[in-house]
């Protein structure tokens, strides 16, 4: 989960002074004594007299604990107990005492003392909260992507130091949450610490508790969604595909128009299919991947990667009819994507739509004529569709590039052709070729001259006789009859 800095707690660190208003009623002696011990302790702390401060603040806790048992409705004294607990860093007990005091003073309508208790609690909360935020930022600065394995010793050291900062951040934010149970900013940032260190189950647990205190809070629900997505991603990375898919399904049910969720599930199905040994099961998993990629593309119809991946998945499942329109969309979005054109042509060929198959793959050859595999595919489609002559033309181009080696000086080699041969006549009529490949087949030596810009090639025997002219200038879709 990406960490977004939030404003630090605004309450000043200095404690709010005690309210020592007179009381018409006699106060429980333990309450009065405990309050006095807190006041004395804070005065000594401010003077630097830490020895007396420690003795006095511990006496304050003892006195005020007994006070709370004997007179639980002395809410001012209970607030002092929260103060004393906070001083000895018993934040959980401090939070409970402050909470009880603030609720009691509110019920009594004592606005001034309620505000005093609230501000006193907030001063301790702010100190812990701000320390937590600071430690998060330090950890991020040391090793930003904590979930990534460190590639070297220096990064291992940096990650170790970052771990210490994040641990300290969690401790401070837990203390802050003790003091203000259910506080939304504290909850969100504590969950962020756990998520940043890839402890997603703990982050989820924190957010669940936070949402009990603040049902429907948008910042917490957003954080919860991101944590659950990351938990599913983590399971997928750990190859626990089945559990990951269950989580993605739950996420999709709650947010069906989120293309990223469909994409994540699709990626997981694809990885599951790749690992599957049983062919029938594998096809089903590729089909599920295709369905999810297709849905993601439906929601994000300008992303050609989604239509491409859907096409690949359906093609792996041998669902040619589902793959074909997605390849068509991909080529529409990426007109120069020869890989998509090639796959589109393969699907069309399987669907026995020969003219369209020839057109699709010919466009790929036209876009990238020096790709030998595209010439081979085009030749295979021509042959499958009954155009053996054009099939042979493309096969000869493929064999020249596959079996041959390009000569270093194409111009010099072509000009050495013997006068009167077909090679010499081609040089005279076509000019110098852009590439010359020498190759062998069936113990015979051949030489193919490529004119890439003219979209043709000439194959000659060792004696310079023309054995084949290949011209891919235009697709011969009309003659592809099957």
The DSSP 8-state label assigned to residue 353 in this structure reads -
C-beta of residue 461 within 8 angstroms of C-beta of residue 437: no
Domain for residue 117, yes or no? yes
Q: Inform me whether the pLDDT recorded for 9 exceeds 80.
A: no
Chain position carrying tokens 């023309």: 466
**Residue-level pLDDT at 111:** 96
Whether the CA torsion 406, 412, 417, 418 is positive or negative: it is: negative
Q: How many CB atoms lie within 10 A of CB 361?
A: 29
Average pLDDT, the chain: 93
User: Which residues constitute the domain of residue 205?
Assistant: 1-17+74-231
Residue 261 CB contacts under 8 Å (≥ 6 apart), including other chains: 229, 248, 251, 252, 255
- What was the pLDDT predicted at 329? 98
180-214 burial string, b = 16+ CB within 10 Å, else e? bbebbbbbbbbbbbbbbbebbebbbebbebbbeee
pLDDT-derived band at 26 (thresholds 50, 70, 90) equals confident
Q: How many Cα neighbours within 13 Å face the side chain of 322?
A: 20
Give the separation between CA 58 and CA 210, rounded to whole angstroms: 32
How many CA within 13 A on the CB side of residue 238? Answer: 13
407, 438 Cβ separation under 8 angstroms: yes
pLDDT of residue 477: 78
In the chain, DSSP finds a helix count (H) and a strand count (E) of 20, 5
The answer to the question of residue 281 being in a domain is no
Residue 164 within any structural domain of the chain:
yes
Q: What is the pLDDT of residues 361-404, one digit of tens each?
A: 999 999 999 999 999 999 999 999 999 999 999 999 999 999 99
Whether 23 maps to a domain, the answer reads no
Q: What domain count does the chain have?
A: 1
Token pair 């269950």 is found at 246
Average pLDDT over residues 110-120: 97
Q: What does the pLDDT look like over 393-405, one tens digit per residue?
A: 999 999 999 999 9
Residue 9, in any domain of the structure: yes
User: Positive or negative CA dihedral for 157, 162, 164, 165?
Assistant: positive
**Domain-located, residue 183:** yes
CATH number, domain of 176, equals: 1.25.40.10
Low-confidence winner among 25-39, 176-190, 255-269, 283-297 (lowest mean pLDDT): 25-39
pLDDT, tens only, 178-217: 999 999 999 999 999 999 999 999 999 999 999 999 999 9
Residue 361 lies in a domain: no
pLDDT band at 479 (very low <50, low <70, confident <90, very high): low
The percent of residues above 90 in pLDDT, for the chain, comes to 93
Is 289 within the bounds of a domain?
A: no
Instruction: Please say if the pLDDT value at position 10 is more than 50.
Output: no
Residue range 125-157, pLDDT digits in tens: 999 999 999 999 999 999 999 999 999 999 999
Outline where 277-337 has alpha helix (H): 279-299, 304-316, 320-333
> Is the overall model pTM greater than 0.95, yes or no?
no
pLDDT given at position 20? 43
Mean pLDDT of 99-118: 97
């Amino acid at each position: 989960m990406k960490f977004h800095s939030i404003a630090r707690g605004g309450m000043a660190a200095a404690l709010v002074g005690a309210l020592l208003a007179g009381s018409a009623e006699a106060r429980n002696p333990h309450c009065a004594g405990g309050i006095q011990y807190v006041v004395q302790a804070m005065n000594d702390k401010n003077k630097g007299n830490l020895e007396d401060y420690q003795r006095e603040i511990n006496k304050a806790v003892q006195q005020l604990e007994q006070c709370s048992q004997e007179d639980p409705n002395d809410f001012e004294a209970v607030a002092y107990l929260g103060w004393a607990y906070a001083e000895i860093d018993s934040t959980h007990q401090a939070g409970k005492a402050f909470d009880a005091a603030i609720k009691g003073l509110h019920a009594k309508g004592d606005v001034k003392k309620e505000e005093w208790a609230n501000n006193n609690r907030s001063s301790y909360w702010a100190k812990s909260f701000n320390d937590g935020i600071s430690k998060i930022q330090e950890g991020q600065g040391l090793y930003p992507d904590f979930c990534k394995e460190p590639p070297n010793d220096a990064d291992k050291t940096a990650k170790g130091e970052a771990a210490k900062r994040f641990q300290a951040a969690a401790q401070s934010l837990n203390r802050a949450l003790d003091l203000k149970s259910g506080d939304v900013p504290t909850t969100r940032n504590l969950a962020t610490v756990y998520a940043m260190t890839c402890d997603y189950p703990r982050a989820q647990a924190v957010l669940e508790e936070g949402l009990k205190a603040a049902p429907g809070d948008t910042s917490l629900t957003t954080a919860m969604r991101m944590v659950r997505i990351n938990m599913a991603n983590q399971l997928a990375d750990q190859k626990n595909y089945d559990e990951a898919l269950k989580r993605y399904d739950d996420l999709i049910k709650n947010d069906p128009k989120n293309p990223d969720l469909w994409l994540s599930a699709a990626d997981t199905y694809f990885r599951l299919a790749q690992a599957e040994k049983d062919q029938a099961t594998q096809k089903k998993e590729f089909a599920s991947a295709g369905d999810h990629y297709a849905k993601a593309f439906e929601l994000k119809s300008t992303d050609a990667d989604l239509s491409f991946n859907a096409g690949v998945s359906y093609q792996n499942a041998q669902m040619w009819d589902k793959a074909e329109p997605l390849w068509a969309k991909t080529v529409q979005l990426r007109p120069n994507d020869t890989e998509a054109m090639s796959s589109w042509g393969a699907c069309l060929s399987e669907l026995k739509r020969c003219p369209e198959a020839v057109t699709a793959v010919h466009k790929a050859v036209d876009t990238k004529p020096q790709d030998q595999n595209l010439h081979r595919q085009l030749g295979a489609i021509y042959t499958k569709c009954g155009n053996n002559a054009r099939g042979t033309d493309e096969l000869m181009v493929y064999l020249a590039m596959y079996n041959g080696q390009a000569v270093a000086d194409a111009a010099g080699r072509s000009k050495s052709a013997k006068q009167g041969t077909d090679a010499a006549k081609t040089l005279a009529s076509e000019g110098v070729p852009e590439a010359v490949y020498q190759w062998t087949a069936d113990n015979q030596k051949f030489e193919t001259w490529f004119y890439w810009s003219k979209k043709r090639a000439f194959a000659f025997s060792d004696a310079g006789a023309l054995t084949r002219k290949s011209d891919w200038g235009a697709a011969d879709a009309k003659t592809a009859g099957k």
